[in-house]
Chain A
Amino acid sequence: MRRIGFLVNPYAGMGGAVGLKGTDGLLNEAKKRGAVPRSPELALAALRPLKESDIHFLTCSGTMGEDELQEAGIPRYSVEYRAPGTTTATDTRNACSIFLELEADMIIFCGGDGTARDVYDSVGTRVPLLGIPAGVKMYSGVFAITPPAAAEILKGGGKIAIRDAEVVDVDENAYRHGTLRTTLYGYAKTPYIPEMVAGTKQVFEQPDEERAKAEIAQFITEVIDGTPGVLTILGPGTTTEKIAEVLGIKKTLLGFDAIRGRELVAEDLNEKGILTLIKDEKKLRLVISIIGAQGFVLGRGTQQISAAVIRKIGIANIIVVATPYKLSRTPLLYIDTGDPTLNGAFGDHIQVISGYRIAQRKRLFQPEP
């Protein structure tokens, strides 16, 4: 029997319905505005199909898990964490630590980006985590598309595979003022069902994320080897990390690093560091991957790559990389450099390297100026 840690952030999503664009630190305000909890209902939608499953749930008392399991009619659970009347992020983190001690195979949580970040803080990449979507903002890649889809993944048994998924941090204050500023917080492991794109003639989409990353890395490595003099900036992410690995370079997972040929020139650069480094370079290249569940190529959170940096590098010298799975989940890609003129220079479509000598042409969305 699989042991799965299960917790609900009972307040997730409450701020959204009452116009607060998030609930972090504003629970009382949300309640005052008449917000009612919605995550328990969404958790139920994910639990009900699992009535007959082979899962033993490790959970928290009350609305943080137990109530939902009971209502779904699932008898196989044990309450391992006593939650107080009003729960906070600390409870999420503490519950997860206990689940890990009890050797949970996986953590399922019902919440939004904030909950994802709290779970990731505690769990890291030690076990996979999967989100039942219930938040106001869900820009992280750890969420199932719908609550029943989360159940499908859990029922998948032996068929499920594990991929890397971004956990992103959204600046809620900026968000409330109309600016989406996401920063990459880390990479969690998350389960998914590798799927063929249905009904095609030559259906072989690369279902295995590791394989797809290796193919992309092989190709980009050949490009870098073919142009050894060019200073290349590698953006954050596990695909770019794989490129560095093939090149024999140790790269920072979340930072922008600079390389020339197979040599690391500088790591974890900020905007100023990049501008200083590239000042006198004739030919430059930037390799970046798509961040977040919403498909940002460059978002306002990518502070290192400012409009000035992009202008110096040149749009034609930006190589965007992403696995086919990721691309199948992000029909639209976004660019928001913070500079409308520069955004416009990217055009309506963008080429994304998705395999060995293969690219996909994707529609590009730019925010209204």
Chain B
Amino acid sequence: MQTKILLDEEQMPKKWYNIQADLPSPLDPPLHPQTKKPIGPDDLKAIFPMELIKQEVSTQRSIDIPADVQDVLRLWRPSPLYRAHRLEKHLKTPAKIYYKWEGVSPAGSHKPNTSIPQAYYNMKQGVERIATETGAGQWGSALAFATMLYGLQCTIYMVRSSYTQKPYRKSMMQVWGAECIPSPSTKTKSGQAMLAKDPETPGSLGMAISEAVEDAASHSNTNYSLGSVLNHVCLHQTVMGLEAREQLAMVDDYPDVVIGCVGGGSNFAGISFPFAGDKLTGKHKDVDLIGVEPASCPTLTKGLYTYDLADEAGYTPLLKMFTLGHDFVPPSIHAGGLRYHGDSPIVSRLVHDGVMRGISYHQSEVFDAAQTFARTEGIIVAPETSHAVKGAIDEALKCKKSNEKKTILFNCSGHGNFDMSAYDAYYAGTLVDYEYPDELIKESLARIPKVP
């Protein structure tokens, strides 16, 4: 009875999988926020290195992972794939549950899969400093780790509510030599404007993005880096799905269901795109790809598929995606990493086309699932990850009802060792189940910029 399925270091993927090659038609282009015309590489040059801009629009199926990047990724990759025997037994399900365990990275999540190449390409182009935003601190700590390895300075705008309440990820950023600033801050014009409008604002990811983009655009030695949403980020994360597909092949298996949690979408993209590619190219037409999101920020399940800004202030291009509106400030849930108004344009497109689908849960039920997982498999997952756990458990329970021996794969994207206060709240019974009142919002909505 094999529990861990491991790849050797030399079996680590040498190329990323670019799903844009297999889309039936090209993605709708990002639009300039003022002119509403498609943007070109020149519009992005001020804040991104050229290699990442190329990857953003590339339609080449495989893109080489630079040898330097592979060297760093080997610190923890290939990551293990687990068969969740104990969870299966507990659920009494005929289904097979596998999970890809990404908590083994130094930052404790899947985020370094993209922070490493992003820092690398910036370093190669002679950039000295990177500015970014972080919600709960997962991305900030991952980028702090990466920039340190390549000798870059790093400034991180951290959503204010997390900054004061989540001190440990901030401490990690400090250990890795990055500067962490609560957002909105007085350091940027957009931050000043948001504070003038509302001095008590808890901040949001959209606001922090505006500050980081402004910082990068107004300093010639500084670039911007985003931890999710964009095509090149999803691309870098495909190492997870590529490895998982290999690992499953080692035990002669292929998933019927692939599950990941969805905030900006790169975690779900990373685990599912290789399988989505198999679906698009007809190799495995029936694989069910499920993105799990919080009921409080239900972008895929209740958002509109339209062009919207990626940030609060309107510095970023308009992206065609599922969105709750760029001015939506999601409520304060524990899964801070899933609080984003929009979603990856590729994930959005695939959901819109029916290749993937979204589901949503309330936070108390996902903590129930996380507890079950911790008490069977031992791992205490991050609140974000617990959404994927809940999705997997529900699929396994459906199999129990229908007596189907499906193979379920989910991305166990990070540990919750810095999130114990969230578990404390769960046991204290103080978790609030937030909802997105979509019917009322539809009646009120006239705020998304109109694109002809």
Contacts and interface: CB of A to CB of B under 8 A. Distances in A.
B245 interface: no
Interface in A180-239: 196-205, 208, 211, 219, 222-223, 225-227
Nearest to B136: A201
A360 B433 contact: yes
Contacts of A222: 444
Interface string B147-190: 00000000000010110111000000000000000000000000
B425 A355 contact: no
A362 B435 CA distance: 10
A208 to B, nearest CB: 7
Interface stretch (B39-47, B212-220, B248-256, B327-335): B327-335
Contacts of A362: 433
Contact of B440 (A196, A202, A205, A319): A319
Across chains A and B, which 9 residue pairs bring their CB atoms closest together, nearest first? A204-B202, A222-B444, A199-B421, A202-B332, A204-B161, A361-B433, A359-B435, A203-B165, A201-B334
B121 interface: no
12 contacts: A201-B333, A201-B419, A202-B333, A204-B161, A204-B202, A226-B444, A328-B432, A351-B435, A351-B437, A357-B444, A358-B331, A359-B437
B422 interface: yes
Contacts of B329: 356-357
A331 B428 CA distance: 13
A319 B296 CA distance: 18
A202 B434 contact: no
B335 to A, nearest CB: 8
A66 B335 CA distance: 53
Given A219-B444, A223-B443, A223-B444, A357 B328 contact: yes
Given A223-B443, A226-B444, A201 B428 contact: no
Contacts of A324: 432
Nearest to B296: A358
B301 to A, nearest CB: 15
B231 to A, nearest CB: 28
B265 to A, nearest CB: 19
B432 A327 contact: yes
A81 B165 CA distance: 48
A226 B362 contact: no
Contacts of B383: 201
B444 A201 contact: no
B437 A199 contact: no
A202 B165 contact: yes
Contacts of A319: 440
Contact of B436 (A199, A203, A211, A359): A359
Contact of A360 (B135, B435, B444): B435
A276 to B, nearest CB: 26
A165 interface: no
Contacts of A357: 324, 328-329, 436-437, 441, 444
Interface in A327-369: 327-328, 331, 351, 353-362
Given A197-B425, A198-B425, A361-B434, A204 B443 contact: no
Nearest to B164: A203
Interface string B412-452: 00000001011011001110111111001101111000000
Nearest to B335: A201
Nearest to B440: A223
A80 B445 CA distance: 58
A363 B296 CA distance: 16
Contacts of B353: none
Given A201-B136, A201-B166, A202-B334, A360 B434 contact: yes
Contacts of A200: 165, 332, 334, 421-422, 425, 430
Contacts of B425: 197-200
Contacts of A359: 434-437
Given A201-B335, A202-B332, 16 more contacts: A196-B165, A198-B421, A198-B425, A199-B421, A201-B165, A202-B135, A202-B333, A203-B164, A204-B332, A205-B332, A222-B444, A223-B444, A351-B437, A358-B437, A359-B437, A360-B434
Contacts of B443: 223, 226-227
Contact of A358 (B161, B419, B424, B434): B434
* B: interface residue count bin: 35 or more
Interface in A227-274: 227
B232 interface: no
Q: Which of A202, A208, A211, A331 has the most CB of B within 10 A?
A: A202
B446 A226 contact: yes
Contacts of A203: 161, 164-165, 332
Interface string B4-37: 0000000000000000000000000000000000
A213 to B, nearest CB: 14
Q: Which of A199, A222, A226, A328 has the most CB of B within 10 A?
A: A199
A212 to B, nearest CB: 11
Nearest to B161: A204
B291 interface: no
A129 B424 CA distance: 34
A225 B433 CA distance: 28
Contacts of A331: 429
Contacts of B296: 358
Contacts of B332: 200-205
Interface in B116-142: 135-136
B336 interface: yes
A228 to B, nearest CB: 11
Contacts of A355: 331
Contacts of A204: 161, 165, 202, 332
Interface in B328-349: 328-329, 331-336, 339
A283 B425 CA distance: 41
A323 B444 CA distance: 20
A198 B332 CA distance: 13
Contacts of B446: 226
Contacts of B436: 357-359
Contacts of A199: 421-422, 424-425, 428
Nearest to B423: A199
B200 interface: yes
Contacts of A211: 200
A295 to B, nearest CB: 15
A197 B430 contact: yes
Contacts of B441: 357
B105 to A, nearest CB: 20
Interface string A305-339: 00000000000000100001001100100000000
Contacts of B165: 196, 200-204
Interface in B302-339: 324, 328-329, 331-336, 339
B430 A198 contact: yes
